[in-house]
Amino acid sequence: MNQPCHDGGPSRRAVLQSSAAIGVLAATGLAPPAVRAATDAGLPMPVLTPVSVTVNGRARALQVDTRATLLDTLRETLGLTGTKKGCDHGQCGACTVLINGLRANACLTLAVMHDGDEVTTIEGLGTPEDLHPMQAAFIKHDGFQCGYCTPGQICSAVGMLAEHRAGWPSAATADLTAAVELSGAEIQERMSGNLCRCSAYPNIVSAIREGGEA
């Protein structure tokens, strides 16, 4: 028999027994909604916020969890799985997209921060029938093996070329007063945020050289 607490509430034993029963039900997947709600009661509930964002030229009105990254929103909410999740920590570049024309790691930015922004993913650069010049150059130069890093490489390359055209220097730029030639060393430095575990780097550099001339 349950013993009341000093304040008249349920005893510690009753709480532990009911918690254990809820845990067992939840673990077996047999918990009814009320029990699942009780199980989840300790978790913070998502806060949804309206966000209007243009993705690949299409206006999208979303209700986003304020904790959701742009990467997860693209992949899980919009079904744009071309943008890859590698490290989810800003270290590999697999998730690179263009935000208002600038490259960014989609795993490092929250979707809620992009109200009014324009996002371009690999799906928005070209189509199988009408490839972006950089996509065509990657195919021509065999700039990939498994292909997992490739969408991020291509988006990053497109953004990098725009940065170069705008006169942005890099850590490899020796003379900050002269026009920067896009040498192999410049391409390698400017693409250093995009890792390729298949080590297709020489072909990636060749592809970017050609894609940049198109």
Strand partners, 118: 54
Task: Tell me which stretch binds ligand FES (CB under 6 A): 22-30, 46-54, 192-200, 206-214.
Answer: 192-200
Residue 198 touches ligand FES, criterion: CB under 6 A: yes
Site for ligand FES in 100-159 (CB under 6 A): 105, 107, 144-150
d(CA 82, CA 168): 28
Cβ atoms < 10 Å from Cβ of 80: 21
Q: What are the b/e assignments for 121-155, b being 16+ CB within 10 Å? A: bbbbbeeeeeebebbbbbeebebbeeebbbbbbbb
Backbone torsions φ then ψ of 69, nearest 5 degrees: -75, 160
Q: Which is nearer to ligand FES, 90 or 169 (CB)?
A: 90
d(CA 180, CA 161): 12
Task: Tell me which stretch binds ligand FES (CB under 6 A): 55-63, 87-95, 118-126, 183-191.
Answer: 87-95
Q: Which is nearer to ligand FES, 40 or 76 (CB)?
A: 76
Q: 36, 60, 85, 209: which one contacts ligand FES (CB under 6 A)?
A: 85
Q: 200, 205, 207, 208: which one contacts ligand FES (CB under 6 A)?
A: 200
Residues 19-58: x where in contact with ligand FES by CB under 6 A, - otherwise, as a string = ----------------------------------------
d(CA 81, CA 92): 17
Residue 80 near residue 121 (C-beta atoms within 8 A): yes
How many Å is the Cα radius of gyration of the chain? Answer: 25
Task: Tell me which stretch binds ligand FES (CB under 6 A): 25-33, 41-49, 88-96, 171-179.
Answer: 88-96
Task: Tell me which stretch binds ligand FES (CB under 6 A): 9-17, 40-48, 84-92, 127-135.
Answer: 84-92
Q: How many residues form the binding site for ligand FES (CB under 6 A)? A: 23
Cβ atoms < 10 Å from Cβ of 48: 13
CB of 121: closest distance to ligand FES in angstroms?
Answer: 13
Q: Which is nearer to ligand FES, 31 or 200 (CB)?
A: 200
State the DSSP H helix or E strand holding residue 104, giving kind and residue range, or none if neither. strand 102-105
The type of residue at 46 is: P
CB of 71: closest distance to ligand FES in angstroms?
Answer: 6
Could you tell me the strand order of the sheet in which 102-105 lies?
A: 58-65, 48-55, 118-120, 96-99, 102-105
Chain residues in the site for ligand FES (CB under 6 A): 85-88, 90-95, 105, 107, 144-150, 196-198, 200
